[in-house]
C-alpha cells in the first residue's frame, strides 16, 4: 500500500467531471479529501490523501494528469513541537479535525499528524510558537 | 484541632509533614471527611501557569570601564527597550515591551514575535543577549555608548518583579460581533463560536485560600521554577466582589505582587508568549503552599471546579467600552468539559492557562516540602480581604483645557 498527500488543481473545463469518482472506482484508490475549494468556471483545488497499491496509484495519477489535472505533492506540513507546547488547550477548540486534541481526563494536549489538513487555523492561536507550517 | 505554622514547619523539617496537592485533597476530604482530613493533612500545594502581562524584571549590569550612566539614557536588550529612569546601571524590563522596529498592529493582526517576555525567557535559559546603550555623558560617567553581549550570570542582580500575578479568578471571553477579534484572551471567533478562560480553577492558589488567611506579605512561594516571595497585594487587588456561599469570588478579585531572583529560575516556568494582534506577554509559573491550620482551611482547599464560577464577557463591545452586562455565569467544570451554554447557544471552550503545568507545579512544591527543603512562612501582614471595602475604581477623566497649568477643582 502506498499513500500520498497531494494538491490537485483542476482546470475550469474539468471541474464538473467525476475525476475523483473514477480514481476511486477504476483504480481502487481511497481518496480522502482534506480540503477543497471549487468555484464554477475557475480552477478548482483539492487537497487529498490518496491510498492504494503502488501500481494503481501510479496509473490513477497518470490518468488524472492526462486529463489535464495538475498534480503536486502537498509541500506544506504542520509541525507540532511538544517541548514548546505548554498544553494551554487554546488551539484545541479551533482545530477542525481534532488533529490537535485534548484528553479531558488529564487535560493533556497531543497532535495527530495524520488528521491535520494544514488549514493553518491554529497558527495565530498558539502564543508559544508550538505549531509551525513548513514549506 | 488547630495547628500553627511553626508546628507544621517542625514536621516539615523532620520529614514528617503530610503534604498533598489541591487536586488530591478533594478526594481525601471526600473519603475521610473534613474534620479527619484537616487533622491529617498539614499542607496543600497549589499551582498556576498562565500569561500575566504585569510581569517584569530589574537588573544591575555592573559598571563598565570607563563608566556610563544608563539612567536617563536609552538601553535595549535584543532590541527590546528597557526603562532607565534609575541610577547608573539599574534598569527595568517589562514583559510587554517590543522592539521599536516591531510593526505592532500596523500590519493587522500583528505577530509580536519577540518582546520582553521572550527576553526574560532567553536570559533565564542562559542565552547571550545584546545590550546597546546610549547615554548623555557626565563628568563622573563620561561614556556615551556601550554595545556588548551579556548574559544573566554576568549581572550583579537580575530579579523578577511582577506587580500583578496570580489572579484569583477571571473572565470567560467571547465575541458577539460578526468579525474575528484578537485579544489578550486569545483569538475570538465571530458570533460566539468559541470561549476562552484563564485560570487553573481548583488548583489555583488564591482560589484555595479565598480570604487570604495564610497568603500575605512575605509568603514564600514557587516562582518561575525557583523560590520567590509575595511582596503584597498585586495591582487591581479587588477583594470586595460578589462571592459564592463558600466564599469564592465569582469574578476577578484578589491578586499578588511577587518577586524572586531570576538566577535560580528556569525557562520551563517563564515563557515568552505572543498573542496575535495583541502583544507580547510572559507566562509565569507560581505555586503556593497552604497550611491546613484548621478545618476551615481544609474546606477551602477542597474546593472543586464545579464550585468555582466565572462571568462570560463579550470582548467585542462590553469589555473594550467598559460597559457592564455579563452574558452568563459558568463553572470551571463546565469550561473544562469543552463547551458552555451562553444565551441558549453551545459554545466550545478552551483555556489559556495550563492545567497540566499547574498540576506539575503543585507536585514539585509538594516534593520540596516532603524533602524538608522548603519551609512555610508566617505572613508579615495579611492582604486586605472581602470586608475591606476596597473599591476598584475606573479612571475619572478630567479634560485638560488649552493653556491650563493648574487643574480645575
Ligand atoms: S493546521 Fe492546525 S488547526 Fe488545521 S488541522 Fe492542522 S493542526 Fe488542526
Ligand atoms: S495553543 Fe500552543 S501551547 Fe497551547 S495547547 Fe495548543 S499548541 Fe500547545
Give A-chain residues touching B273 at CB under 8 angstroms.
127-128
As a whole number, mean pLDDT of residues B292-320 equals 98
Known catalytic membership, residue B166: no
Nearest-atom index, ligand 2, CA of A87: 5
- Mean pLDDT computed over A43-51: 87
**Contact criterion met (CB below 8 Å) for B280 and B96:** yes
B322, B39 Cβ separation under 8 angstroms: no
Average pLDDT over residues B7-16: 97
pLDDT band at A3 (very low <50, low <70, confident <90, very high): confident
Query: A108 — contact with chain B (CB < 8 Å)?
Result: yes
Rounded mean pLDDT, B155-184 = 97
Lowest mean pLDDT among B133-142, B279-288, B322-331: B322-331
The CA distance from B291 to B46, in Å, is: 11
* Reported pTM: 0.90
Characterise A111 by phi-psi region: left (phi > 0), alpha (psi -120 to 50), beta (else): beta
Q: Inter-axis angle of helices A19-27 and A54-67, to 10 degrees?
A: 150
When pLDDT is averaged across residues B210-232 and rounded to a whole number, the result is: 98
Q: Which has more confidence, A44 or A59?
A: A59
Query: Rounded to a whole number, what is the distance in Å from the CA of B355 to chain A's nearest CA?
Result: 7
pLDDT at B70 over 70: yes
What average pLDDT does this structure show over B213-235?
98
Nearest ligand to the C-alpha atom of residue A117:
1
Please state, rounded to an integer, the average pLDDT across all residues of chain B. Answer: 97
Distance CA B254, CA B210 (A): 8
> Are the CB atoms for B118 and B51 separated by under 8 Å?
no
* pLDDT computed for residue A20 by the predictor: 86
Find out whether B37 and B28 touch, Cβ atoms under 8 Å: yes
Quickly tell me which residue has 463579550 as its cell.
Answer: B314
Establish if B267 touches chain A: CB-CB under 8 angstroms.
no
What gap in Å lies between CA B263 and CA B120, rounded to an integer?
11
What is the model's pLDDT at position B124?
Answer: 98
Q: Which residue has the cell 517589562?
A: B94
Q: What is the pLDDT of residues A9-38, one digit of tens each?
A: 888 888 778 888 888 999 999 998 888 887
Atom index in ligand 2 nearest the CA of residue A111 equals 7
- Chains A & B: contacts with CB separation below 8 Å: 72
Report the residue of chain A nearest B183, measured CA to CA. A125
**For an interface test with B, which of A88, A96, A106, A128 has the most B Cβ atoms less than 10 Å from its Cβ?**
A88
Mean pLDDT of B98-125: 97
Give the pLDDT score at B409: 63
Distance A133 CA to ligand 1 centre (A): 10
Of B16, B9, B83, B22, the closest CA to residue B287 belongs to: B22
Q: What is the pLDDT of residue A77?
A: 82
The pLDDT tens digits for B236-245 are: 999 999 999 9
Whether residue B407 is predicted with pLDDT greater than 90 in this model: the reply is no
- Name the helix (H) or strand (E) containing B347: strand B345-351
Using the beta-carbon criterion (under 8 Å), do A94 and B189 form an inter-chain contact?
A: yes
Whether ligand 2 lies within 6 angstroms of the CB of A7 is answered as no
pLDDT band at A115, cuts 50/70/90?
confident
Residue B381: which residues within 8 A CB-CB, separation 6 or more? Answer: B216, B217, B218, B232
Amino acid at each position: 500500500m502506498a499513500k500520498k498527500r497531494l494538491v490537485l488543481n483542476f482546470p475550469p473545463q474539468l471541474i464538473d467531471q467525476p475525476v475523483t469518482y473514477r480514481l476511486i472506482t477504476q483504480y481502487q484508490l481511497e481518496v480522502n479529501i482534506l480540503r477543497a475549494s471549487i468555484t464554477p468556471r475557475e480552477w478548482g483545488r483539492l487537497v487529498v490523501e490518496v491510498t492504494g497499491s503502488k501500481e494503481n496509484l501510479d496509473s490513477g495519477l497518470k490518468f488524472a494528469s492526462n486529463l489535464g489535472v495538475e498534480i503536486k505533492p502537498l509541500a506544506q506540513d504542520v509541525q507540532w513541537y511538544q517541548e514548546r507546547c505548554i498544553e494551554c488547550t487554546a488551539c484545541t477548540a479551533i482545530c477542525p479535525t481534532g488533529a490537535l486534541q485534548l484528553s479531558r481526563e488529564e487535560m493533556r494536549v497531543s497532535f495527530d499528524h495524520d488528521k491535520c489538513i494544514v488549514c493553518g487555523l491554529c497558527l495565530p492561536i498558539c502564543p508559544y510558537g508550538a505549531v509551525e507550517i513548513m514549506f | 484541632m488547630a495547628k500553627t505554622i511553626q508546628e507544621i514547619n517542625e514536621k516539615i523539617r523532620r520529614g514528617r509533614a503530610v503534604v498533598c496537592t489541591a487536586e488530591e485533597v478533594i478526594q481525601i476530604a471526600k473519603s475521610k471527611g473534613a474534620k479527619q482530613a484537616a487533622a491529617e493533612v498539614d499542607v496543600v500545594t497549589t499551582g498556576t501557569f498562565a500569561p500575566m502581562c504585569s510581569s517584569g524584571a530589574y537588573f544591575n549590569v555592573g559598571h563598565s570601564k570607563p563608566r556610563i550612566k544608563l539612567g536617563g539614557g536609552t538601553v535595549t536588550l535584543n532590541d527590546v527597550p528597557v526603562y532607565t529612569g534609575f541610577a547608573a546601571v539599574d534598569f527595568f524590563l517589562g514583559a510587554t515591551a517590543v522592539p521599536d522596529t516591531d510593526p505592532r498592529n500596523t500590519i493587522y493582526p500583528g505577530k509580536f514575535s519577540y518582546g520582553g517576555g521572550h527576553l526574560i525567557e532567553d536570559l533565564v535559559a542562559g542565552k547571550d543577549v545584546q545590550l546597546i546603550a546610549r547615554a548623555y555623558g557626565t563628568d563622573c560617567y563620561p561614556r556615551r555608548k556601550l554595545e556588548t553581549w551579556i548574559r544573566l550570570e554576568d549581572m550583579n542582580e537580575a530579579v523578577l518583579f511582577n506587580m500583578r500575578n496570580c489572579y484569583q479568578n477571571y473572565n470567560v471571553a467571547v465575541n458577539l460581533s460578526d468579525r474575528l477579534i484578537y485579544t489578550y484572551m486569545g483569538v475570538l471567533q465571530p458570533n460566539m463560536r468559541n470561549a476562552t478562560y484563564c485560570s487553573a480553577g481548583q488548583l489555583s492558589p488564591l482560589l484555595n485560600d479565598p480570604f487570604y488567611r495564610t497568603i500575605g506579605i512575605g509568603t514564600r512561594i514557587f516562582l518561575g521554577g525557583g523560590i520567590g516571595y509575595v511582596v503584597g497585594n498585586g495591582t487591581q487587588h479587588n477583594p470586595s466582589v460578589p462571592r459564592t456561599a463558600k466564599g469564592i469570588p465569582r469574578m476577578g478579585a484578589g491578586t499578588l505582587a511577587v518577586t524572586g531572583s531570576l538566577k535560580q529560575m528556569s525557562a520551563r516556568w517563564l515563557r515568552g508568549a505572543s498573542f496575535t494582534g495583541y502583544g507580547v506577554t510572559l507566562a509565569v509559573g507560581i505555586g503556593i503552599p497552604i497550611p491546613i491550620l484548621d478545618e476551615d482551611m481544609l474546606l477551602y482547599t477542597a474546593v472543586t471546579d464545579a464550585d468555582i464560577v466565572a462571568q462570560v464577557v463579550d470582548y467585542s463591545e462590553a469589555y473594550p467600552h467598559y460597559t457592564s452586562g455579563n452574558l452568563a455565569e459558568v463553572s470551571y467544570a463546565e469550561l473544562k468539559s469543552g463547551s458552555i451554554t451562553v444565551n441558549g447557544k453551545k459554545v466550545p471552550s478552551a483555556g489559556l492557562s495550563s492545567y497540566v503545568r499547574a498540576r506539575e507545579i503543585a507536585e514539585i512544591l509538594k516534593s520540596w516540602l516532603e524533602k524538608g527543603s522548603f519551609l512555610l512562612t508566617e505572613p508579615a501582614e495579611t492582604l486586605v480581604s472581602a470586608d475591606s471595602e476596597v473599591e476598584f475604581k475606573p479612571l475619572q477623566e478630567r479634560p485638560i483645557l488649552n493653556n491650563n497649568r493648574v487643574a480645575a477643582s
